[in-house]
Amino acid sequence: MPSTDLWRLTASELSSLLERREVKSAEVAESIVARIEEVEPKLSAFISRTGDAAVRHGARVDDDRANGSHLPALAGIPIGIKDIICTKGIRTTAGSKILESYKPPYDATVWSDLREERTLLVGKTNLDEFAMGSSCENSGYGPTKNPWDVTKVPGGSSGGSAAAVAAGMVPITIGTDTGGSIRQPASLCGVVGLKPTYGLVSRYGLVAFASSLDQAGPMTRSVRDAALVLKTISRHDPRDSTSIPGDRPDYLSGLGRPISGMRFGVIKELSGEGMQPGVVERFQQTLTTINRLGASVEEVSVPSVSYGIDAYYVITPAEASSNLARYDGTRYGLRVEAPDVLAMNRATREAGFGAEVKRRILLGTYVLSSGYYEAWYGTALKLRTQIVRDFEAAFSKVDLLVTPTTPTTAFAIGEKTADPLQMYLNDICTIPANLAGSCGISIPCGLAAEDGLPVGFQIMGPALAEATMLRAAFALESEIGFDGSRALSA
């Protein structure tokens, strides 16, 4: 393969070539940077780009490899980081004008772990402002477009990350998932998106949206790549009070093992009504594939998931209203000068926050206010507890739960911006895993007959069951043989 086409390869393929010294890291970085230059004007997947530094770092990796140094599997592999993850000295905006010039004085743990693996950062990817959205249209830096069809959204909030991977601008990105923000855009863009168990990957250095739900995870073009990245970024971090202690398994070791005998549960409440026919068709075909591989499929009821969106859109605005109170023009970020402090606070927030962020702050402040706290926030927390219990009951009967990742394929840019409630329904299948704290992955399972756009198949496991989940995802991926080449021609 010509060095100019190295951007077409997965991270695992590149890693093998680099280890055998058939290509150089600098060549890989140069190929990726050239691809970004070609495609980025059409898609707007990045907020900041660091390609020149990536090429320089790649050359240093090549020198160390030539000198006989033992290097990690991800050494010399280009990556993108969602621009809500702090990168020391590199602009981190969270997709908001209020942080337009902010350069963190420290690295997020997830990025420092990847930096120590000698990965090459090529840029910070676009997102819905403060991760609030399902279409990547709420960014303060303009919308990202779907490489399968530039008139469609890529999903959100990690839309820039998903589009960058799908279009071959980078083999790996790191996104964050609060209610589906890794899995939903992965589904709409035809890539793999993995949300780890809450606490498996450190949240230190993630710009907070809803602290009890936010979780970083990988977006890739293969399940093997997702497992490879998870192996690197999952560890106990004493700087994160919610980080799970203990060793992590080797997520790669089970890939390729048969799944015969596994029990898959189809969530009755999330598998039919309101789904696009082409999505249902591909979902059913994948269930047939599971049976063909020797695993069983049965319907299970998780009654409380029907109220997942209701609970989510009380809990997350409440946490957001608290987390975003720090952006007042006093300490860092945007400041709009005014005659007094209160006027400055008001003017800064008015100019710096977008409409969706303001909407959620107002809603969150309302549900936390005196007289409404117990009726709204307290009730939502009780419902969240019931979802946890219902998931535990379901996992006592089956090994893994499955649903379509999204009710529809990618929708047109601007189609749902006027109706926030319709936008929120895009996350109906993904939100329950966040509320339960369990793990989930979306893999592409084909194209919908109506529009030829990707369909995602979601697999959810109990807490800390990533190894089992990845084993199942790898088996299905191998059998489905999804072709994402149309996006690579963007």
- Comparing CA positions, the residue from 308, 317, 241, 350 lying closest to residue 460 is 308
> What distance in Å separates the CA atoms of residue 276 and residue 425, rounded to the nearest whole number?
13
CA distance 315 to 320: 9
User: Is 88 an annotated catalytic residue?
Assistant: no
Q: Is the peptide bond before 301 cis (omega within 30 degrees of 0)?
A: no
Q: Choose the catalytic residue: 44, 112, 134, 157.
A: 157
Residues 486, 168: Cα–Cα separation, whole Å: 11
Among residues 82, 145, 231, 416, the one annotated as catalytic is 82
Q: Dihedral angle at the C-alpha atoms of 322, 323, 325, 331, nearest 10 degrees?
A: 150
- The token pair that represents 367 in the structure block: 């549900």
Question: In angstroms, rounded to a whole number, what is the distance separating the alpha carbons of residues 118 and 71?
Answer: 8
0.95 exceeded by pTM:
yes
Active-site annotation holder among 15, 134, 135, 181: 181
At position 216, the amino acid (one-letter code) is A
Residues 6+ apart with CB under 8 A from 248: 200, 231, 234, 235
Q: Which helix (H) or strand (E) holds 458?
A: strand 454-461
Strand order in the sheet with 296-300: 46-49, 120-125, 78-82, 172-176, 216-220, 192-195, 439-447, 454-461, 400-404, 263-267, 296-300
Per-residue pLDDT of the chain (490 residues; tens, 9 = 90+): 667 799 999 999 999 999 999 999 999 999 999 999 999 999 999 999 999 999 999 999 999 999 999 999 999 999 999 999 999 999 999 999 999 999 999 999 999 999 999 999 999 999 999 999 999 999 999 999 999 999 999 999 999 999 999 999 999 999 999 999 999 999 999 999 999 999 999 999 999 999 999 999 999 999 999 999 999 999 999 999 999 999 999 999 999 999 999 999 999 999 777 899 999 999 999 999 999 999 999 999 999 999 999 999 999 999 999 999 999 999 889 999 999 999 999 999 999 999 999 999 999 999 999 888 899 999 999 999 999 999 999 999 999 999 999 999 999 999 998 888 889 889 999 999 999 999 999 999 999 999 999 999 999 999 999 999 999 999 999 999 999 998 888 7
φ/ψ of 64, rounded to 5, equals: -65, -40
Tokens 């319709």 identify what position? 422
103 is known as an active-site residue: no
Domains of the chain listed by start with CATH number: 3-305+386-488 (3.90.1300.10), 306-382 (no CATH)
**69 annotated active-site:** no
